[in-house]
Structure 1
């Protein structure tokens, strides 16, 4: 009898273990801290301990439950914070980077709902110098005008991402305004990518309605797709449209890339406009080379061509040239050291350098920033 009971207990334990193995919850994170120098922040040099020079510091929970027949329930809760002082990022949200739940099928793809990235970020950003494997924060295009640096996440969003069909993937997102004013602070996006051997190509589209007030009225919908309070250092407008595309080619230890993006902001007060418009064309070339399994370095150059609508004075349109360099050395699978440098030159009437994550705009047309630090995953 004891033998039978022991066998039954063993079977029960095996069943419990099997059920547990079909579900998982993972605690993960990344901590990035370094010392940076910027030569001109409002006319003065700045030396600072900085969090998230190349990747935003974060921790999170992600999980999956096997529902059978190739279907899983999935979720992610991801927090952003400053390692300098422990404060929450993303306008003090508990899970400001991502928060979603959904269903995933091996055959049909994944549907998720919550606070998420748009499809320009999902598909095009990995081919840019704004990717986490490259330089990320500091390498963003001026004002992160195309959101490739994912400084804007979208609340109230429903997103579909397909499975991988022979190297081809696609997706779409819609973020609700959650308001009786249906079109105030909503967003939608679509994107696709294709990988064939050493070549990867991607394209995406993003439209945001009402990241600022309607022209001449007060902004009232603070619970919509875009939280205006989060847009510090970014442009706001009645309507934003961004289209982007990129191409990467892997050649042995080298990866060569080109990214183009076009962004239009309609109904904006930026650059002294009175509810006018501004557009940006960003042209980026980048290269990453892996010297050893532990050491890799990258270079990128970005030319941003801005145009102000309704302004005809010669030399008024803002333009920027930015050169970026980075070296990353892995001490282990989890921990690495890095050093990066950036230079930006601006042209246009009274236009100044506005490097992202530099600590502030320059008082002149030029700005230089350098940083070195340590990054560890867990």
Structure 2
């Protein structure tokens, strides 16, 4: 249950400082999710596995979200969100208390919203809700290895974000993240933009994201404002000078049926410091459908086809096909039982983690749940049964 507390301490402090009468309303909300499942994978680096995995339907997390009404349609807002593993109690990131989000800003009903801090990109926030990672979850529904970042694997530090109000169904947003490196302000920067349209049964969205590598160390430097998931699909390209994403998605809803399509293009741009020589490109074409039989029962299915470019000495470029299913039974508005299934097949070749010259057979990585445990063959199946509770 969301818990609201009147932040009287702020008002009392304001009065004590001679701030005068304060009439604004303030609130703070504690929220989160607990999600855990039994998982079967037929091949993780050569072996089948049965284990518990958190964060499948929803990421397990807790957060504090606050609003202070300043009057005149303007509010101060903030959000602090932490991820954790209920199976061990461990933080999702040992070095970050609020690894998922941490931002503060101003919101005005006429002029839009401006926020600063660690945030998701407009690319993800606008296109992601129309993609399969939203309807089937990223664990098994994200495109192979979440290569295009349409699940929650990409977050940006030092980010400034402006989002417009919605005008006639249209909304836009832009982000710039400061690299913060003395003498070279552009190194490690991130740029993102998104636009969406929603009216009646139609949803349309497009997004752009470019993460520049600070390149002070090997690979994608941790000093960079952006970071992304690494899997067997892109392991040979993480030393890129920059990673660029472009995506477009559309959905149409007829009663209880939703149908959607998505296209994404991802480029790993090479530089003299990269351990590969040619820009690598991944194009993904995907379709998703979801149907609600009753308020308590819904299902979804998706198909995606990801194709890599012929570059870096590869003549038989990697291809990945993925089929995903989800069935959910909602015991209440906050508690759900679910089952997930996905199968992926890979063909062709890609670069291994050692970069140029290390040409290897492409191996599948279902959704973003198997990024660290790809199959040792050209196919991988993952099935899950779990429970998720929102609060």
Give TM-score, length-normalised by structure 2: 0.85
Q: How many residues align?
A: 354
Aligned counterpart, 1:225: 225
**Superimposed CA distance per residue, residues 207-230 of structure 1 (whole angstroms, 9 cap, x where no aligned partner):** 11107x37xx64696443125xx7
The structure with the larger Rg is: 1
Q: Following TM superposition, by how much is the alpha carbon of 1:21 offset from its aligned partner in structure 2, in angstroms?
A: 7.3
Aligned counterpart, 1:254: 257
Alignment RMSD, CA only?
2.4
Cα distance in 2 for partners of 1:155, 1:203 equals 22
For 1:341-360, list aligned pairs within 5 A.
Answer: 341-349=341-349, 350-355=361-366, 356-358=368-370, 360=373
SS at match of 2:338: strand
SS at match of 1:362: coil
Gaps of at least 5 residues in structure 2 are 1-14, 16-20, 350-360
Cα distance in 2 for partners of 1:285, 1:220 equals 31
Aligned counterpart, 1:318: 318
Cα distance in 1 for partners of 2:96, 2:38 equals 25
SS at match of 1:137: helix
Aligned counterpart, 2:178: 176
Contact 2:145 2:230 in 1 (8 A): no
**Superimposed CA distance per residue, residues 53-109 of structure 1 (whole angstroms, 9 cap, x where no aligned partner):** 222110000010000110000000000111111111145411000000000000111
Aligned counterpart, 1:8: none
Following TM superposition, the consecutive aligned residue runs of length 4 or more in structure 1 with deviations greater than 3 angstroms are 18-21, 217-224, 230-235
Cα distance in 2 for partners of 1:29, 1:150 equals 15
For the pair 1:25 / 2:28, whether they are aligned, the reply is yes
For the pair 1:372 / 2:385, whether they are aligned, the reply is yes
Query: Measured at CA, do residues 219 and 288 of structure 1 come closer, stay the same or move farther in structure 2, by a change above 3 Å?
Result: closer
Q: Following TM superposition, by how much is the alpha carbon of 1:268 offset from its aligned partner in structure 2, in angstroms?
A: 8.1
Aligned counterpart, 1:167: 169
Q: Which range is displaced more, 348-357 or 39-48?
A: 348-357
**Superimposed CA distance per residue, residues 339-360 of structure 1 (whole angstroms, 9 cap, x where no aligned partner):** 0000000010311112221360
For 1:28-177, list aligned pairs within 5 A.
Answer: 28-90=31-93, 92-131=95-134, 133-177=135-179
Cα distance in 2 for partners of 1:312, 1:179 equals 35
Give TM-score, length-normalised by structure 1: 0.88
Contact 1:277 1:308 in 2 (8 A): no
Cα distance in 2 for partners of 1:226, 1:241 equals 11
**Equivalent of residue 200 in structure 1, options 174, 187, 203:** 203
Contact 2:260 2:289 in 1 (8 A): yes
**Equivalent of residue 282 in structure 2, options 260, 273, 280:** 280
Gaps of at least 5 residues in structure 1 are 1-15
